[in-house]
Structure 1
Amino acid sequence: MGATIIDAEDRPGAAWGAVLSMALCVAMLIASEFMPVSLLTPMAEGLGATEGQTGQAISISGLFAVAASLAVTTVAGRLDRKWVLVAMSAFMLLSLVLVATAPNFAVLMVGRAFLGVCIGGFWALATAVIMRLVPAQDVPRALALMYGGQAIAAAFAAPVGAYLGGMFGWRDVFWALTPIVAINLVWHVVALPSLPVRQRQDVRAMMELVRRPYFLRGLVAVMLSWGSAFTMFTYLRPFLEQVTGVDVTVLSLLLLLLGCAGFIGTWAAGRYVKGDVAPLLKLPALVMGGATAGLLLFGFSVIAAGFFMVVWGAMNTMFSVIWMSWMAQNAGDAPEAGGSLMVAAIQASILLGAVVGGLLLDGVSIGATFIGSVALAAIAVALIGDGQRMLKPEGV
């Protein structure tokens, strides 16, 4: 079954230009999805909402991303995957325009819903497409390159967004992303080869994967790990403002530090994520949960906050490469179905993290939000253990 999807060997060379176009799309997706993190306070003021409510701009995109990730392989049917990815970029462009012009909270949510469709559809297909663009031995390297877009967005989107939002207003920040997304859409059309579906993988393929105990355990671990990360990350700005006591300039510098640390993670992922990934599976929850605990204990210091944000940011960019490499190795016979389930699990955990974190922030305190994040990380580490129970048995 896997040979019908992994067809890079049918071409004379790996399509690295297409991989780069996907890396730029990742950068724009990450920037668009999490820009409200760096603009949470001014967006709340501008729309007449609380910070906890505005944080749901992330949860609503997560909700639609879950639905899109589960539906895309069925709804898209036998459409060429190249044109499905082009359509996802068009949804992202529409979302940015709606958010930038939103006169009220309801229109903002509609714009974020369109972004959720793009997020779910793109990520559900991304790993399967990478597996078709490059030979099998190059898949981890290509994934690291694609997720390099995440490092770029993490390095520059949040700090630049916070800084420009302070100078010109949060709407102009979203407007500034639109021409880049338009260029990326054209690049997709030019660089991506035709990717016709050779074997449709629908709901039955997803259900078959879920019935595999090792894959189901992996999905639960993914949800706990990502839920922990984004319970904290969604509300990082209120923490830095309320606990660390930073102004917009220092906030921007700290977010830049966190983002630049992502380049370390990208380099490490390309170098060390290969072969057996089992020993690496618990690292994201362990390291990022530990960094969140460090912020809780020492976040009153700007220097300490900067240190723990660097640690968190470096592991954040390794996070996706580690787990998507696990998916490629343990669901290689059904990569689109595996990708759909992975994205649904990740986006559901981001959604729940934003919702629960917002409720804790509004109802208790920012400290309670971060304690919830640490608790989820601890459960994830305990479940994963040495990672062996997450691997496909030999001979299967």
Structure 2
Amino acid sequence: MTDAAAPEAAANPAAWGAVLSMALCVAMLIASEFMPVSLLTPMAEGLRATEGQTGQAISISGLFAVVASMLVTTVAGTLNRKWVLVGMTALMLVSLVLVAAAPSFAVLMIGRALLGVCIGGFWALATAVIMRLVPEGDVPKALALMYGGQAIAAAFAAPIGSYLGGLFAWREVFWALTPIVAANLVWHVVALPSLPARQRQDFRAMFGLLRRPHFLTGLIASMLSWGSAFTMFTYLRPFLERVTDVDVTMLSVLLLVLGCAGFVGTWASGRYLKGDIAPFLKLPSLLMGGCTVGLLFLGGSVVAVGLLLALWGAMNTAMSVIFMTWMSRNADDAPETAGSLMVAAVQTSILLGAVVGGWLLDGLSVQATFIGSVVLAGAALMLIGDGRRLLKPATSA
């Protein structure tokens, strides 16, 4: 850790409060970004659109997240990173209000585009900020704690959103998120220490990282892994309704099972990612792709679906910690630049997963969407191999 302020922040117990405030922000980002998954059917009906079109509400946020992640470190220049994160959280609040009040599909998409800017900006800086808040040895633990927010959102946002959407309406679900985001905005101001920019980033630094074979390979592997995951996850509700034939109550239960399993994935990744990262890199595609195959064959059984979604959910949260730990160790000399590229890669994958999955769903069937997910998982496994090619030369021995 080269930043002079980092040891001071790490020695301050309040730095863990800052990590917790970022964890809550992650929870709200994940809940806001993927809430349409649990509300896809009622949102489509309310906006007079197809389910495939409504799924593009996720892809549009992904598109703007890609652009924001590539530009944030350059546009932010020498601005204090604390206030950049505060600004991104404020933008999330604005986007939620626009989505909840949207009178048309076009306004909904504008709100989702603003959310994408927040997502891209926050995630591009998040890992680099965590590396400055805690000692190097505590980075995996802090990342797991921050991604605990992802587990919380995965555990409760989707099932609660589905349940409340059935009781009230989908707009009320988005309105319910706004006071939590407002409180998180205040927490950021209080808890985050001053984080002066280390240096101004530019596109030359990005191209420099992309010229490193191990980093480029890892970037593509992460894109395939996330692309596989979200080709399936974006259209999980139509699958459960049409193939598993569940009602709203059982749908909420299954989504709760998936989400609660995320706590296991977060705990395990924080506990066991202390040594060689290489063996862990193939696990997301291997296990999540295998679960998707299982759903294709056993989708008619509620019990089997519940077990498969539990395993999928645990691996989903672990995947984020695995790849961000890989990034922190293998691009530690340029964490903000690497973070920008990682977020751009992941959001591009989510965007393409939602778009291609929607085409397959509307044009063929939901089973075709899941088969596309399995194909991407297989490609990721072939690229990753034993994981050694994704490590920088100094750590590959």
Fold-level match, TM-score > 0.5?
yes
CA contact (8 A) 1:6 1:131 kept: no
Q: Does 1:382 align with 2:391?
A: no
Tell me the amino acid that sits aligned with residue 110 of structure 1: I
Alignment of 1:314-353 (within 5 A): 314-353=314-353
1:28 deviation in Å? 0.2
Matching residue of 1:168: 168
Distance, in Å, in 2 between the alignment partners of 1:316 and 1:274 is 19
1:109 deviation in Å? 0.2
1:334-389: CA deviations, max 9, x gaps?
A: 00000000000000000000000000000000000000000000110111000000
Matching residue of 2:249: 249
Matching residue of 1:372: 372
Distance, in Å, in 1 between the alignment partners of 2:8 and 2:391 is 26
CA contact (8 A) 1:285 1:377 kept: yes
Distance, in Å, in 1 between the alignment partners of 2:24 and 2:201 is 27
Matching residue of 1:80: 80
Alignment of 1:199-238 (within 5 A): 199-238=199-238
Distance, in Å, in 2 between the alignment partners of 1:7 and 1:21 is 18
1:355 to 1:74, Cα distance in 2 relative to 1, 3 A: same
Aligned to 1:139, the other structure's residue is in SS state: helix
1:124 deviation in Å? 0.1
Distance, in Å, in 2 between the alignment partners of 1:297 and 1:197 is 51
Matching residue of 1:48: 48
1:332 deviation in Å? 0.3
Tell me the amino acid that sits aligned with residue 128 of structure 1: A
Alignment of 1:349-368 (within 5 A): 349-368=349-368
Distance, in Å, in 2 between the alignment partners of 1:149 and 1:269 is 14
Give the CA RMSD over aligned residues. 1.2
Matching residue of 1:101: 101
1:296 to 1:190, Cα distance in 2 relative to 1, 3 A: same
Matching residue of 1:3: 2
Runs of 4+ with deviation above 6 angstroms: none
CA contact (8 A) 1:4 1:199 kept: no
1:9 deviation in Å? 4.5
CA contact (8 A) 1:148 1:266 kept: yes
CA contact (8 A) 1:201 1:334 kept: no
1:296-351: CA deviations, max 9, x gaps?
A: 01011111111100010010110000000000000000000000000000000000
1:204 deviation in Å? 1.2
Aligned to 2:2, the other structure's residue is in SS state: helix
CA contact (8 A) 2:10 2:132 kept: no
Distance, in Å, in 1 between the alignment partners of 2:105 and 2:223 is 28
1:12 deviation in Å? 3.1
1:395 to 1:157, Cα distance in 2 relative to 1, 3 A: closer
Distance, in Å, in 2 between the alignment partners of 1:317 and 1:308 is 15
1:181-213: CA deviations, max 9, x gaps?
A: 000000000000000012222211111000000
Alignment of 1:75-154 (within 5 A): 75-154=75-154
CA contact (8 A) 2:3 2:132 kept: no
Tell me the amino acid that sits aligned with residue 155 of structure 1: A
Distance, in Å, in 1 between the alignment partners of 2:273 and 2:144 is 9
CA contact (8 A) 2:288 2:312 kept: yes
Distance, in Å, in 1 between the alignment partners of 2:6 and 2:114 is 31
CA contact (8 A) 2:10 2:134 kept: no
Structure 1 length-normalised TM:
0.98
Distance, in Å, in 2 between the alignment partners of 1:248 and 1:62 is 27
Instruction: In structure 1, list runs of 5 or more residues that go unmatched.
Output: none
CA contact (8 A) 1:35 1:158 kept: yes
Tell me the amino acid that sits aligned with residue 184 of structure 2: N
Distance, in Å, in 2 between the alignment partners of 1:74 and 1:264 is 37
Aligned to 2:393, the other structure's residue is in SS state: coil
CA contact (8 A) 1:5 1:132 kept: no
Structure 2 length-normalised TM:
0.98
Seq. identity, %? 76
CA contact (8 A) 2:159 2:256 kept: yes
Aligned to 1:65, the other structure's residue is in SS state: helix
Instruction: In structure 2, list runs of 5 or more residues that go unmatched.
Output: none
CA contact (8 A) 1:288 1:315 kept: yes
How many residues were matched structurally? 395
1:376 to 1:395, Cα distance in 2 relative to 1, 3 A: closer
1:5 to 1:240, Cα distance in 2 relative to 1, 3 A: farther
